[in-house]
Structure 1
Amino acid sequence: MTAPILLEEEKVFKDPVHKYVHVRYKVIWDLINTPEFQRLRRIRQLGTSLYTFHGAEHSRFNHSLGVYEIMRRMVTKFDLSIDEVLLCLCSALLHDVGHGPFSHSFEKVFKTDHEVWTQKIIEGNTEINRVLTEISPDFPKKVSEVIGKTYPNKMVVSLVTSQIDADRMDYLLRDAYYTGVNYGNFDIERILRLMRIVDEQVVIKYSGMHAVEDYILSRYQMYWQVYFHPVTRSAEVILRKIFNRAKELYHEDYTFRIFPEPMLPFFKDGKISLRQYLDFDEATVLYYIQEWCREKDRILSDLCKRFLHRRLFKYIEYDPNDYRMWSDLEALFYKEGIDPRYYLEFDSPSDLPYDFYRTGEEEERMPILLLMPNGDLEELSRKSDIVQAISGKRRFDHKLYYPEDMVSDEIRKRIGGK
């Protein structure tokens, strides 16, 4: 491995969350200045949340810098080799580089996975790959393995992605700052100060348990008060419907006013080249949504206008087992000439804020371990009544979305009679 080169003078970014982001290694500076990383300026961190919280305009770019800064502070505390330090820093910086426009809405429709694309960007024919290869020929593969959670050193992986990692700590603080809420705030200084490495895993000293409790509860509140806010989800529903409608029209040989050439690979067969994916950002999507407002297809035009002008769908609580209500509403929608495929949607996000390790189960989660005064390790929920109360409990929120301005009194009565 080539000895890492230090910059002649430390570079510093002003940051509203961490105050400063410090860059000493040339490889980090070079990665930040690659086209692939700069693209993250054009990908919002919170997608459609700006329809609910008008300040939520921040990007994946500043989040990624924040994750890097937290990781930089973490690695100074541990006795790591320079190889491991660089691996942690580069993985933290690049962990989100594969996100597409309106990340999760886009992924659901076009069956993409941002982590897979992150690995393709790191290992593919990109400037990021060239910069990483200057460290060593196998360094891009190592970074990719950390992102994919297959790197042999689980301690390195856990610093980047675990139940208490640099990624989560930054997005909770950053998203709370930009949305203007207080839910995501916790004592990151104390958590970082009390982190230790025991048996190649990151643990927290027992005296820091209450700071970790605050972190877990902050995460819980942010998901239900911000990330899963029903207004945000209404905008996501409409955005997904736009993508679905445009895709359907393409397969029906519909003639678009302005053909969405950049979206063709996503519409066609899903065989997307790395360059095509990297050319796609939110500015591109918003351009076509604005143009589609003038399409002759009434459904696509209406959905685009709703999204641009924030004329969102109304929502009600809904029991997913109430098949009778769903079938009644579908029939009424068709009767009134409203296509329920685009104007009626059931949405049900769920979250598991904290769980202990369950071997062999889907989405295995390493627990948060406390280092007790006698040197023993104890799983967090065994010592914290607060965490135990929410540990292992998956919560759902079922909502039914529909355009109130389009439906008849008969439909309103059927919905209201629920």
Structure 2
Amino acid sequence: MQKSKKLEIFNDPIYGFINIPNDLIFNLIAEPSFQRLRRISQMGLSYLVYPGAHHTRFHHAIGCMHLMQQAIQVLKIKEVDISPEEETGLLCAILLHDIGHGPFSHAMEHSIVAGVSHEHISLLYMEMLNKKFNGSLTTAIAIFKREHPKKFLNQLVSSQLDVDRLDYLKRDSFYTGVAEGNINSERLLTMLNVVDNHLVLEEKGIYSVEKFLMARRFMYWQVYLHKTGIVAEQLLISVLKRAKELLAKGEILQCSSALLFFMSHKVTKANFSDDDLILFAQLDDVDVLAAIKAWQNSKDVVLSMLCTMIINRKLLHIKIKNKPIDEQRLHKQRTTLMDTLNLTAHEANYFVFSGALENQAYSQENQPIHILKSNGKITDVVQASDQLNLKMLSKKIRKYYMCYPKLSV
């Protein structure tokens, strides 16, 4: 029998055909823990705002790998020393950088496994896969942990101008239809260089990086921090919180065995075992959505209401202010809700709450973007730019929100 030929390319709507460079990458993509990313939405519940935003972490990871291939090619042309081992390490690190995301990506981070970031879980997966592939991911792990002696390798995977951001801004812009986020990632990659072991951007690319930072600001306010998306995300978090609370009291809830395990057991960073990691790989958006659909019929009025709001998109009302929310306003909304639906104060807190939003497109303190000027000098992008608004982008903007049911007055 003739063996079937391996899939060697992906047809991506953003970049066109993407090549799989070697067998190791092919085998990593074929891993069940990576294939699971096909069932993890890139933007959580943002499709409730932007109907096209149904792309997945799988899309994003493959796109990042493609951009990393381009970045490596550009740097090699400019005679930057990157060994074959380091090249493979870069591709593996960026391919697997989000493998630890749970259902609905950032929306449920810390909800299923409290206090454990997706970056930490990604590292655990990489270490497990490194054993399976006989140490082939050792360099990738060093780069992912930002411990590789060649600092620019680390910066390509994680910095303020990394391959991750170059893909997700362009990809999220495409799938949401928000044109302001459409950056010229190819132009930015072409302008990359390395000076004194650090990643820099040549001065010719200054206008592209200005647009990149502006696009990041627009995407956060218009998409990632969209008020409707914030409400949906908070409701999703509340659903898991209420379900855990009911399970702790001995109530029985219908859901997948993997989801039930993480809701019933306190898994922390300290006791996250290999068995837990294997079980976590069975979790995806399907588990949570199926549970929410079933819990609409729960006898618990709070859980039932929360789930019905998400399924039917009958969300809470939200108001965003520049100043912290007055506690008296929250108290009034809670009291009205308690009287209307005969809820306790604790139950009312699931529907009336406040929070804060932060947006900082660029930080001059945290791994700044360095511009290589034509005279050979290195300067921060804010100093190199003639756009005064870049200074404003480096300031952290903080806004406050309150959520409450529309039946309140």
On whether the aligned pair clears a TM of 0.5, the verdict is yes
The answer to whether the aligner puts 1:44 opposite 2:52 as a matched pair is no
Contact 2:317–2:404 at 8 Å: present in 1 too? yes
Alignment of 1:132-281 (within 5 A): 133=134, 137=135, 139-256=136-253, 258=254, 261-271=257-267, 273-281=276-284
Q: For structure 1, which segment, 309-318 or 88-97, has the greater mean C-alpha deviation from structure 2 after superposition?
A: 309-318
2:303 corresponds to 1:306: no
Distance 1:97 1:55 in 2: 23
Give aligned pairs, total: 385
Contact conserved, 2:9 with 2:17, CA < 8 A, in 1?
yes
Q: How does 1:336-375 map to 2 (within 5 A)?
A: 336=340, 337-338=342-343, 339-357=347-365, 365-375=366-376
Task: Establish whether residue 333 from structure 1 lines up as the match of residue 358 from structure 2.
Answer: no
> What is the identity, as a one-letter code, of the residue corresponding to 2:257?
E
Residues 49 and 228 in structure 2, CA contact (< 8 A), matched pair in contact too: yes
Q: Deviations over 1:13-34 (max 9, x none)?
A: 1111111211221111111111
Residues 391 and 306 of structure 1, relative CA distance in 2, 3 Å threshold? closer
What is the Cα deviation at residue 267 of structure 1?
2.3
| Contact 1:64 1:96 (C-alpha < 8 Å) held by counterparts | yes
SS of equivalent residue, structure 2 residue 354: strand
8 Å Cα contact 2:325/2:400 also seen in 1: no
The answer to whether the 8 A contact 2:256-2:287 is kept is: no
Indicate if the aligned counterparts of 1:68 and 1:93 stay in contact, CA closer than 8 A: yes
Deviation at 1:322, TM superposition (A): 2.0
1:154 offset after TM fit, Å? Answer: 1.6
Does the CA-based 8 Å contact 2:255-2:287 persist in structure 1?
A: no
Deviations 1:151-187 (A, max 9, x none): 3332111001111111000000000000011011122
Q: How far did residue 129 of structure 1 move?
A: 4.6
Deviations 1:195-214 (A, max 9, x none): 11111111111111001101
Counterpart position of 1:377: 378
Question: 2:53 and 2:255 mapped to 1: Cα distance?
Answer: 31
The separation in 1 between residues aligned to 2:394 and 2:238, in whole angstroms, is 33
CA distance in 2, matches of 1:93, 1:295: 40
Contact 1:239 1:307 (C-alpha < 8 Å) held by counterparts: yes
Residue 88 of structure 1 pairs with residue 96 of structure 2: no
C-alpha separation between the residues in 1 aligned to 2:7 and 2:309?
Answer: 47
| Cα offset, 1:83, TM superposition | 1.1
Matching residue within 391, 398, 401 for 2:400? 398
Contact 2:182–2:215 (CA under 8 A) maintained in structure 1? yes
Structure-2 residue corresponding to 1:3: none
> Alpha-carbon deviation of 1:297?
1.1
Distance 1:344 1:387 in 2: 36
Asked whether the equivalents of residues 292 and 301 of structure 1 are also in contact (C-alpha less than 8 Å), the reply is yes
Q: Which residue, 120, 125, 130 being the options, matches 1:121?
A: 125
Match of 1:285 in 2: 288
> Whole-Å Cα distance in 2 between the matches of residues 146 and 68 of structure 1?
14
Instruction: Map residues 71-86 of structure 1 onto 2, 5 A cutoff.
Output: 71-78=68-75, 79=80, 80-86=82-88
Q: What letter corresponds to residue 215 of structure 1 in structure 2?
A: F
| Structure 1 moving runs of 4+ over 6 Å | none
Bigger Cα displacement from structure 2, 207-216 vs 332-341: 332-341
Distance (Å, rounded) in 2 between the aligned partners of 1:387 and 1:143: 37
Does the aligned pair in 2 maintain the 1:289–1:304 contact within 8 Å?
Answer: yes
Q: In the TM superposition, what is the alpha-carbon distance from 1:391 to its structure 2 partner?
A: 4.1
Aligned to 2:51: 54
Q: Give, in whole Å, the separation in 2 of the partners of 1:381 and 1:28.
A: 38
* Partner in structure 2 of residue 5 of structure 1: none
Assess if the C-alpha contact under 8 Å between 1:122 and 1:144 holds in 2: yes
- SS of 2:349's equivalent? helix
Task: Quote how far apart the aligned CAs of 1:340 are.
Answer: 2.2
State the match for 1:109 in structure 2: 111
Is the CA contact (8 Å cut-off) linking 1:367 and 1:379 kept in structure 2?
yes
Contact 1:21 1:69 in 2 (8 A): yes
Aligned-partner Cα distance in 2 for 1:243–1:153: 42
Given residue 398 of structure 2, which amino acid in structure 1 is its aligned partner? F
Helix, strand or coil at the partner of 1:47: coil
> What SS does the aligned partner of 1:100 have?
coil
Structure 2 residues not aligned, in runs of 5+: none
Q: What amino acid maps onto 1:81 in structure 2?
A: S
CA RMSD in angstroms, aligned pairs only:
1.9
Structure 2 CA distance for aligned equivalents of residues 241 and 326 of structure 1? 17
CA distance in 2, matches of 1:210, 1:314: 39
Of stretches 165-174 and 340-349 in structure 1, the one that deviates more from structure 2 is 340-349
Q: Is the 8 Å Cα contact of residues 357 and 398 (structure 2) preserved in structure 1?
A: yes
Say if 2:89 and 2:137, in contact at 8 Å, map to a contact too.
Answer: no
Distance (Å, rounded) in 1 between the aligned partners of 2:363 and 2:288: 37
Does structure 1 residue 13 correspond to structure 2 residue 10?
yes
Moved more, 97-106 or 205-214: 97-106
Q: TM-score, normalised by structure 2?
A: 0.89
Say which is worse superposed, 262-271 or 311-320, in terms of deviation: 262-271
* Deviation larger for 115-124 or 268-277: 268-277
Contact 2:101 2:109 in 1 (8 A): no
Report which stretch shifted further, 324-333 or 205-214.
Answer: 324-333
**Deviation digits for residues 129-164 of structure 1 (CA, Å, limit 9, x no counterpart):** 523x2xxx3x43432232233333321110011111
The answer on whether the counterparts of 1:213 and 1:387 sit within 8 Å (CA) in structure 2 is no
* 1:259/1:229 CA distance change after superposition, 3 Å: closer
Range with bigger deviation, 39-48 or 148-157: 148-157
The equivalent residue for 1:322 is 326
SS at match of 2:100: coil
TM-score, normalisation: structure 1: 0.87
After TM superposition, give the deviation of residue 72 of structure 1 in Å. Answer: 0.4
